[in-house]
Amino acid sequence: MSLPHTRRPRRLRTLLGIAAALGLALPGATSTAAGAADRTTADRTGPAGAAAALREVMFVGNNWDGTADVITSRGDLARIGRINVVPDKDRRLTEIYLDPIKLGYFLGIRLGPGEGHDQFADDMYSTPDGTAVVVSRPSFADVVSIDLASGRINWRFPVAGYRSDHMALSPDGTRVVVSASTANTVHVLDIATGRQLGSFRTGDKPHENLFTDGGRYIWNMSIGDVNTVLDAPWLDWTKGDRRITVADATTFSTVRVIDMRERLDAFGRPDLSDAVRPAAFSPDGSTLYFQVSFFNGLVEYDVATDRITRIRTLPTSPATNEDRTTWVNDSRHHGLAMSPAGDRLCVAGTMDDYATVVDRTTLQEGPLVPVVKPYWATVNGDGTSCVVSEAGADRVSAIDFATGRRTSSVDVGDHPQRVRLGHVPAEWSGPAAH
């Protein structure tokens, strides 16, 4: 016969109190934290386990101020709420400043890819139940899950090395992959728990990640060292080992390596960098479109025949400084999205300060929409528009796929970069104040 909680022996009550203070749980004891977790799950599922109502939104990562704005996924892109993605900032900074190696990399990120700023919010995806958002934080070399109701951290995963970067979400929403850019490694994590399911090695400085074949494969693009001033075309070889690594998403073994240097040379473009940047597959997965360092345009690659089929050079801006060492992280254009129908591509002309919709059949661009340092492109909730982040103006704008014209804009935080579709609870307007 078990004793009521109030009648437990004094020694047991003492042990339970010590365990609770240390955040431990004794065998056979139900901790307050565990009970709270159980209640939270019940509250989220509701009566008879019914799923809570969700609202489709877009998350905008404001890299330099460590926040994520949540905006409507279509229409006017109105801001719904804001999340602090560095609630543990003081603790992380203390750890960094007490470790000379970590401090060296932290300052290197600030002076290099951060353009004089810390990088606190690179990429993000919400969990399938809409209760949390998972964020990669380059300057803190980690991935965290932020509870959308409380704003607190659910779990934290430190990546290998000293910087985290782009992520990707599996089609079923259960796994995220993240590039550990200084360790040439991609981690695959359970989105609910942060537990590592596997990892695989890449070329130098892994960057973009894409799931293909319904989640069967992961494509990773490594971009090499983009923070040196050795930017002349004849010094391209100094940038490191740049390649596409295709890994099995179940076994995490490498199934294919693609060196675009050979393919670009075969196409007659030895002048182009082989550092593959943002990329987008056609809906049937047969064709890959991608941007490369220093190039104002895009490349079309046929997956089955393993060859580049077309390259399109897009307009330049007369105001763009042609000194390649002034271009942000070796980017000329950085941001590419495919329309759901597969007939249009949206291009972010980062250093040329425009966005444009390109017809996929002809590769002819539409109107050049003036935007300020566009750093990413994605598709909105109903598939009618491309949404670009204007890192130089602290806003995001929607460009209509059909007309190529801007339809709406909204102000966000400092230096927006990645924009991702996701979900929050239907009545959510921001984490509760504490």
Q: Catalogue all structural domains in the chain, each as residue range(s) with its CATH number.
A: 1-50 (no CATH), 51-425 (2.130.10.10)
- Which residues are 79's β-sheet partners? 71
- For the stretch 289-337, pLDDT in tens is 999 999 999 999 999 999 999 999 999 999 999 999 999 999 999 999 9
Average pLDDT over residues 240-244: 96
CA dihedral 143, 148, 154, 158 (to 10 degrees): 10
Mean pLDDT of the chain: 89
pLDDT tier, 51 (very low <50, low <70, confident <90, very high otherwise)? low
Average pLDDT over residues 412-428: 97
Rounded Cα–Cα distance for residues 378 and 123 (Å): 13
For residue 73, is pLDDT > 90?
yes
Tell me which amino acid residue 365 is: E
Average pLDDT over residues 39-53: 46
Contact by Cβ (8 Å): 60, 422: no
Q: What are phi and psi of 43, to 5 degrees?
A: -65, -35
Distance of CA 406 to the CA centre of its chain: 24
Rounded Cα–Cα distance for residues 71 and 82 (Å): 9
pLDDT at 189: 98
For residue 31, is pLDDT > 90?
no
pLDDT at 290: 98
**Measured CA angle at 171 (ends 42, 211), to 5 deg:** 140
For residue 45, is pLDDT > 80?
no
How many Cα atoms sit within 13 Å of 85 on the Cβ side? 36
Rounded Cα–Cα distance for residues 432 and 424 (Å): 14
For residue 16, is pLDDT > 60?
no
For residue 20, is pLDDT > 50?
no
For residue 434, is pLDDT > 80?
no
Residues with Cβ within 8 Å of 22's Cβ and at least 6 positions away in sequence, in order, are none
- Which residues are 237's β-sheet partners? none
For residue 19, is pLDDT > 70?
no
For residue 423, give Cα distances in angstroms to 7, 26, 75, 130, 363.
46, 36, 16, 5, 33
Assigned token pair, 393: 């103006």
For residue 340, is pLDDT > 60?
yes
pLDDT at 185: 98
pLDDT tier, 52 (very low <50, low <70, confident <90, very high otherwise)? confident
Assigned token pair, 347: 């291009």
- For the stretch 363-414, pLDDT in tens is 999 999 999 999 999 999 999 999 999 999 999 999 999 999 999 999 999 9
- Which residues are 62's β-sheet partners? 67, 416
Average pLDDT over residues 243-255: 98
Rounded Cα–Cα distance for residues 416 and 109 (Å): 17
For residue 275, give Cα distances in angstroms to 150, 209, 285, 335.
40, 14, 21, 14
For residue 11, is pLDDT > 50?
no
Picking from 261, 161, 276, the residue whose alpha carbon sits closest to that of residue 208 is 276
Q: Which residue has the higher pLDDT, 46 or 312?
A: 312
For residue 344, is pLDDT > 90?
yes
pLDDT at 13: 38
Assigned token pair, 386: 């491309």
What is the share, in percent, of the chain residues with pLDDT greater than 90?
Answer: 85
What is the share, in percent, of the chain residues with pLDDT greater than 70?
Answer: 88
Picking from 79, 17, 83, the residue whose alpha carbon sits closest to that of residue 432 is 83
Is the sign of the CA dihedral 391, 245, 238, 307 positive or negative?
negative
pLDDT at 433: 63
**Measured CA angle at 414 (ends 95, 56), to 5 deg:** 100
For residue 18, is pLDDT > 50?
no
- For the stretch 105-153, pLDDT in tens is 999 999 999 999 999 999 999 999 999 999 999 999 999 999 999 999 9
For residue 22, is pLDDT > 70?
no
Give CB contacts under 8 A, 24+ apart, made by 28-36.
none
Rounded Cα–Cα distance for residues 141 and 165 (Å): 8
Q: Residue 192: helix, strand or coil by DSSP?
A: coil
pLDDT at 412: 98
pLDDT at 432: 83
Least confident of 21-35, 89-103, 185-199, 316-330: 21-35
